[in-house]
Amino acid sequence: MQDTVFPHGHPGRAFAAAGAVILLAVTSGSAAQTQPLATGQSPVRVVVVGDSLSTGHGTSPQQAWPALMRTDPQVAGLEVVNAAEDGSGYLSPGDFGGTFGTEVDDFVTANTGVVVFFGSENDLGYAPADIGDAALAAMDRAAALAPAAKIIVVGPPSYTAIPDPGLVDISDQLKAAARQAGGEFVDPIAEGWISDDFDDLIGPDGDHPTVLGQHYLLEHIGAHLEQAAPAAAAGKGRPEAQ
């Protein structure tokens, strides 16, 4: 099946949202890793909100980690909608003018089971408090559009052992927003994503993942989706905010 890529955030995105949806359906699975959905049960719809780390920039859309979920048994039983846009962030407008907030508006629907926010270093330079406010607004909007959805918030990664203080500020703001929105926060900085294998995982531009790097992101983000998908399929919804 050939994947279709729409220019998210483009003035014509209303056509994309109304006329078609990017469905990257995962059809294979492993009972040892993920329990299959019950007979007749619809796949869990996952919307990926993100930036160029999720679009396949530097490789191709078909090699981006959301697309790779089509054939990965770790996260079987999902329909993945990749809403990511190059250059976007919670405040930063992307190549077509979109932000994480507009990605939510354009692609999160009532039947969405999981919303994954990933990034973004593109928000460097904005006031941390403003980033936090925009992040909380985007998460709350996702919860309003899909009340039963599990929200997973992945902060921006750092490629060095000593991260940019601005990235740490963004991560702290996202952690607080995720907690307030009742979502799960994943901290790539604290977990040391990519920094131990930069040469293999990041391409010549020094910023975007190689194909191996995209598989790395799938492995790490997919581990959280593996836990979230069964709960979403069972309709358990989001935990209450702490």
Q: Which residue has the tokens 């403003």?
A: 130
Helix axes 100-107, 128-145, angle to 10 degrees: 0
What average pLDDT does the segment 24-44 reach? 43
156 in Cβ contact with 121 (< 8 Å): yes
CA distance 74 to 225: 9
| Cross-strand partners of 78 | 44
Q: Is 208 a catalytic residue?
A: yes
Question: Exposure pattern of 94-119 as b/e (b: 16+ CB <10 Å)?
Answer: bbbbbbbbbbbbbbbeeebbbbbbbb
| Percent of the chain surpassing pLDDT 70 | 76
CA distance 112 to 47: 7
* CA distances for 194 relative to 7, 72, 73, angstroms: 28, 20, 23
Residue 165 banded pLDDT, cuts 50, 70, 90 = very high
- Find the catalytic residue in 86, 171, 187, 208: 208
pLDDT for 130 beyond 90: yes
CATH class of 43-233: alpha beta
Can 172 be counted among the known catalytic residues?
Answer: no
Higher pLDDT pick, 56 / 18: 56
Residue 242 pLDDT greater than 50, yes or no = no
Arithmetic mean of pLDDT, 208-216: 91
Q: Bigger pLDDT: 10 or 175?
A: 175
**How high is the mean pLDDT of the chain?**
81
User: Model-level pTM greater than 0.85?
Assistant: no
Active site residue 187: no
Token pair in block for residue 129: 């408090």
Which residue shows structure tokens 């508006």?
105
**What pLDDT, on a 0 to 100 scale, did the predictor assign at position 232?**
55
β-sheet bridge partners, residue 47: 81, 115
Cα dist. 116→168, 195, 210 in Å? 20, 22, 21
Sheet bearing 112-118, strands edge to edge: 24-25, 78-82, 44-50, 112-118, 150-154, 184-186
38 or 62, higher pLDDT? 62
Nearest partner of 25 among 74, 68, 83, 65, judged by Cα: 68
Please list, residue by residue across 210-234, b when 16 or more beta carbons sit within 10 angstroms of its beta carbon and e when fewer do.
bbebbbbbbebbbebbbebbebbbe
Q: Phi then psi for 207, rounded to 5 degrees? A: -135, -35
Tokens standing for residue 37: 């959905």
The full set of domain ranges for the chain reads: 43-233
Q: Which of 8, 51, 52, 187 is catalytic?
A: 52
